[in-house]
Each structure stands twice: as C-alpha cells, then as structure tokens.
Amino acid sequence: MLAEREEARLIVSRHAARLFLEHGLAATSGDDIAEAAGLSKRTVWRYFRSKEACVEPLFSVSALRFASVLRRWPAEASIEAYLHAAIRPHEQTQHEIEDDVLAVRLIALLPKEPALRTAWLMSCHLGEGQLIEVVAQRAQRPASDFDVRLCAASVMAAIRVVDEDVSTAAITYARKFTLPEIIDQLAKAIRTASTLPICDPVER
C-alpha cells in the first residue's frame, strides 16, 4: 500500500515539475497540478502539504538512488574507484533518466524559485539519513555516534553543493560535462567533506 502511494505521489511530482518549469511556480496552481495528474485537488492535498512540496518525491528518488549506490560501497574500494565503477547511467530505466533530468532542471531553477528549496532540502535530509549507515559501517562505529552523524551531514552537504553547481552550470550556462568529470567532482567533494577516514579502503 505504501509503495502504491509513493508511486502515486511521484507521478504527481513529475506533472508538478513540468508545470513549474514551463510556467513558473507563481503561475501554477494546485488545480493545474491536479488536472495534469488526472486527480482531484482534494487528492493532491492529501498527498502534499503545499504545491511546492509536490516536487519532493522527484528530488527524493534521485537523492535516495545515489545514497543506495553508496550503501553498496565495498570496504576494499576507495571512493574514487568505487564511484567510477558503480555509476552506470546506461543501466537506468527510462523513467529514472527522465526523473533525473527533471530534478536537474528544477535544481537549476532554485535561484529563481527559492520556495522550491524546502522540497530540495527535505530530499537531502532523507539522503543524509541513508548516509549515516554508510559512514557507520566504514568507520566501524554505531550509527548514533555524533561523529558519524556529523560526517554524514557534511558529506550530504558536499553532494548537494556539487548537484547545485553542476545543474546550474549545465542548464543555465549550457556547460557540457563528461560523466568522469562529474564523478571526479563528487568523489573530491565527498573526500574533502568527510570528517572521518571513510574514503580509502577500510579493514574489517
């Protein structure tokens, strides 16, 4: 039941994102989102607390997908080696690719539509929660440890900054990036932000 609800929320999120990108936040109403999604306005408000929150699922699926990549990070690999081996866009589904593109376009829109930033930061918070487990495992400390939580927060903030910089450069300024360049930026940011020694191979 929960999976069906989350899928329904994601479908609404996709419609809301397209409307925000095409018309802007101010010119898009809850009625517009409901009509595009083929739902009643009442149903949309059952799913979301505001029209800005409608894009949270779209941001979250991308953030959690990357967090799930890091959760598979083997102890014997450095962050650089692992990310270059693990990030394979050609293995994504068409929906995942489309969701990532929409998320990138929305992130680039944040300077003009700051009301969307709450939704973006909420998704980053979800990602941070997943990273606590990653840091705890690699640091061999409990997830409740303050230093583990601090490291996870720092790493998530670094990932967020890279996402925002790359999205803005690509969408607003039409800068071209290769996949290895983006991975290098992510790996460098994670290494720089890590307050615990988790980026190099760790012994079990």
The model's pTM is 0.92
Residue 136 lies in a domain: yes
User: How many domains are contained in the chain?
Assistant: 2
Residue 75 lies in a domain: yes
Residue 187 lies in a domain: yes
Residue 202 lies in a domain: no
pLDDT, tens digit, for every residue of 121-161? 999 999 999 999 999 999 999 999 999 999 999 999 999 99
Same-domain status, 48 and 74: no
Long-range residue pairs from 36-42, CB within 8 A, at least 24 positions apart, any chain:
37/11, 37/12, 39/12
Tell which phi-psi region holds residue 174, choosing left (phi > 0), alpha (psi between -120 and 50) or beta. left
Same-domain status, 158 and 85: yes
Say if residue 2's pLDDT is above 80: no
CATH of the domain at 7: 1.10.10.60
Taking residues 14-23, what's their average pLDDT? 96
The whole-angstrom separation of Cα 21 and Cα 42 is 23
Residue 76 lies in a domain: yes
Closest CA to 55 of 22, 27, 14, 21: 14
Q: CB of 159 within 8 A of CB of 179? A: no
Closest CA to 59 of 122, 128, 108: 122
Q: Mind spelling out the 3-state secondary structure of the chain?
A: CHHHHHHHHHHHHHHHHHHHHHHCCCCCCHHHHHHHHCCCHHHHHHHCCCCHHHHHHHHHHHHHHHHHHHHCCCCCCCHHHHHHHHCCHHHCCHHHHHHHHHHHHHHHHCCCCHHHHHHHHHHHHHHHHHHHHHHHHHHCCCCCCHHHHHHHHHHHHHHHHHHHHHHHHHHCCCCCCCHHHHHHHHHHHHHHHCCCCCCCCCCC
Same-domain status, 32 and 105: no
Same-domain status, 75 and 101: yes
Same-domain status, 124 and 163: yes
Same-domain status, 35 and 115: no
The whole-angstrom separation of Cα 123 and Cα 149 is 17
CA 20 to chain centre: 18
pLDDT, tens digit, for every residue of 41-63? 999 999 999 999 999 999 999 88
* Residue span of the structural domain in which 94 resides: 56-193
pLDDT, tens digit, for every residue of 5-17? 888 899 999 999 9
CATH of the domain at 187: 1.10.357.10
